[in-house]
Amino acid sequence: MSFRFVHGADLHLGAPMGLRSIPPGWEAHIEMLDRNLLDRVAAFCCAEDVDFLILAGDIFDNPHPHLRLQRSFVQAMEQLDDAGVHCFLIEGNHDAGVWDRFAFPLPARVHRFGKELGEIKIRLRSNNQEISIWGASFAVEHRGRPVVDAFPNALQSDWAAVVFHAEQASQGRYHPFLHKDLAYSPFAYHALGHEHSFQQLQNPALVYPGIPQARHRAEVPASGICLVEVQGKQQQVTSVDVAAVQWRTEEIAVDGLDENGVFQRCVNLVQRCHDQHTQPVIVCLQLTGTSTDHRGWSSKARVEEFLEALREETRWLQGVWLESLEYVGWPAVDRTTLTDRDDFLGEVFRQLTNEEPLRDVDQILSHCNQELCWAAVYEEARRQLLGAFNENLDGDEGHVD
């Protein structure tokens, strides 16, 4: 028995891009994002000549997708149907009930699973062998009842997979289960959706493909869809990037550099992102280390100005957008001067162990007592703390923490 299929999940079609605004010239990239993503998934399945595609829930970000998006989805399904590729779909917690609101019919080779665990058999194109796919959609009213409990003890088919949308946890709201609960599972492959990073467990085989399209920087690094190659008892899983728009968080070391040096390094990196990517790419820059112009970096306005100048400088690079710039480094500080202070900040510094880096103001403040949770006090403490670091720098420039 030898065949191939694609397993994807959590496309979250219709979810907005987490950008502050639409970058100039990017209207089409944003507008066409979901359509391009679907095209890329369908094109990949056709190019790899797979027998079927599994989409394991949260295909849509909400259960009432726009008609435009519904059309794009149907067109992708039609493209696959024309190529003889079967599609197995389940609903996730985000899109539970979506098919009840669907205006357009889905082609014949698209199979949907309801709330109860069901089975669909197909014959492989390559050798006419019969395999079966089992699946269950996420059901709000079944929250807490593991799908795993409904698994059959034995199967008739030569090869069978099961599709469900669930979290790996001992308890929780999203059909919680643990890998060890599958110890007696009769299925050769467990096609999961819900968790947003690529995960592959063995014995028995369990895969979360992760998200094929990141929508904001917190979702970086995005994963993709999985190409699964079955050869007898062997299953080879490869994660494939199909994102229509890439997100990249890039660190730049700025040790010993002045503003001009940092600027040039940033420009070079944006250029490199442009050269390396075939898809449009959104870049978030993080400056680390100790710049010689550390004072400027503690001013939000200055960082924003720097970002604007960088965007201007790299504007001619098509398909690259510099979304954010952050200075996460910290200037050189002397611990003794800080811990010798006789105000409450001295108290804070004395609570820190020597191993803790004096870099992150918020991390330091997390050591203070609960009163600081009150925002106004917190902001004031934060302001004073930043001031303390800067004062300290006047006294001791050479010491690097």
Mark 188-227 with x for binding to Mn ion (rule: CB under 5 A) and - for no binding: ------x---------------------------------
Among 8, 12, 35, 58, binds Mn ion (CB under 5 A): 58
Q: State the nearest-atom distance from the C-beta of 336 to Mn ion, in Å.
A: 51
Burial pattern 126-149, b for ≥16 Cβ within 10 A else e, equals eeeeebbbbbbbbbeeeeeeebbe
Q: Which is nearer to Mn ion, 36 or 93 (CB)?
A: 93
Is the peptide bond between 204 and the residue preceding it cis, with omega within 30 degrees of 0? yes
- Binding segment for Mn ion (CB under 5 A), chosen from 55-63, 106-114, 255-263, 354-362, is 55-63
Contact by Cβ (8 Å): 182, 164: no
Q: State the nearest-atom distance from the C-beta of 215 to Mn ion, in Å.
A: 14
Q: State the nearest-atom distance from the C-beta of 102 to Mn ion, in Å.
A: 19
Phi first, then psi: what are they for 79, rounded to 5°? -60, -40
Q: Which is nearer to Mn ion, 10 or 334 (CB)?
A: 10
Q: Which is nearer to Mn ion, 92 or 224 (CB)?
A: 92
Q: Which is nearer to Mn ion, 23 or 92 (CB)?
A: 92
Structure tokens at 354: 């020597």
Q: State the nearest-atom distance from the C-beta of 164 to Mn ion, in Å.
A: 11
Q: Which is nearer to Mn ion, 64 or 383 (CB)?
A: 64
Give the number of other CB atoms < 10 A from CB of residue 235: 17
Please state, in angstroms and rounded to a whole number, the distance separating the CA atoms of residues 65 and 61: 8
Query: CA gyration radius for the chain?
Result: 26
Q: State the nearest-atom distance from the C-beta of 104 to Mn ion, in Å.
A: 24
Q: Which is nearer to Mn ion, 173 or 295 (CB)?
A: 173
Q: Which is nearer to Mn ion, 92 or 329 (CB)?
A: 92
Q: State the nearest-atom distance from the C-beta of 315 to Mn ion, in Å.
A: 38
Phi first, then psi: what are they for 4, rounded to 5°? -130, 145
Mark 80-119 with x for binding to Mn ion (rule: CB under 5 A) and - for no binding: ------------xx--------------------------
Residues 349-368 that bind Mn ion (CB under 5 A): none
Q: State the nearest-atom distance from the C-beta of 355 to Mn ion, in Å.
A: 38
Q: Which is nearer to Mn ion, 115 or 335 (CB)?
A: 115
| Enclosing H/E stretch for 394 | helix 375-395
Q: State the nearest-atom distance from the C-beta of 143 to Mn ion, in Å.
A: 12
Q: Which is nearer to Mn ion, 138 or 330 (CB)?
A: 138
Instruction: Name, in order, each residue with C-beta under 8 angstroms of 170's C-beta and a sequence gap of 6 or more.
Output: 176, 178
Q: Which is nearer to Mn ion, 192 or 254 (CB)?
A: 192
Q: Which residue is nearest to Mn ion (CB)?
A: 194
* Total residues binding Mn ion (CB under 5 A): 4
Give the number of other CB atoms < 10 A from CB of residue 323: 20
Mark 15-54 with x for binding to Mn ion (rule: CB under 5 A) and - for no binding: ----------------------------------------
Helix (H, G, I), strand (E, B) or coil at 313: helix
Mark 238-267 with x for binding to Mn ion (rule: CB under 5 A) and - for no binding: ------------------------------
Please state, in angstroms and rounded to a whole number, the distance separating the CA atoms of residues 119 and 356: 55
Burial pattern 355-369, b for ≥16 Cβ within 10 A else e, equals eeebeebeebbeebe
175 scored as a contact of Mn ion (CB under 5 A): no
Q: CA 107 → CA 9, 112, 256, distances in Å?
A: 20, 11, 61
Q: What is the DSSP string of 26-71?
A: -HHHHHTHHHHHHHHHHHHHHHTT-SEEEEES--BSSSS--HHHHH
- The contact set with Mn ion (CB under 5 A) reads 58, 92-93, 194
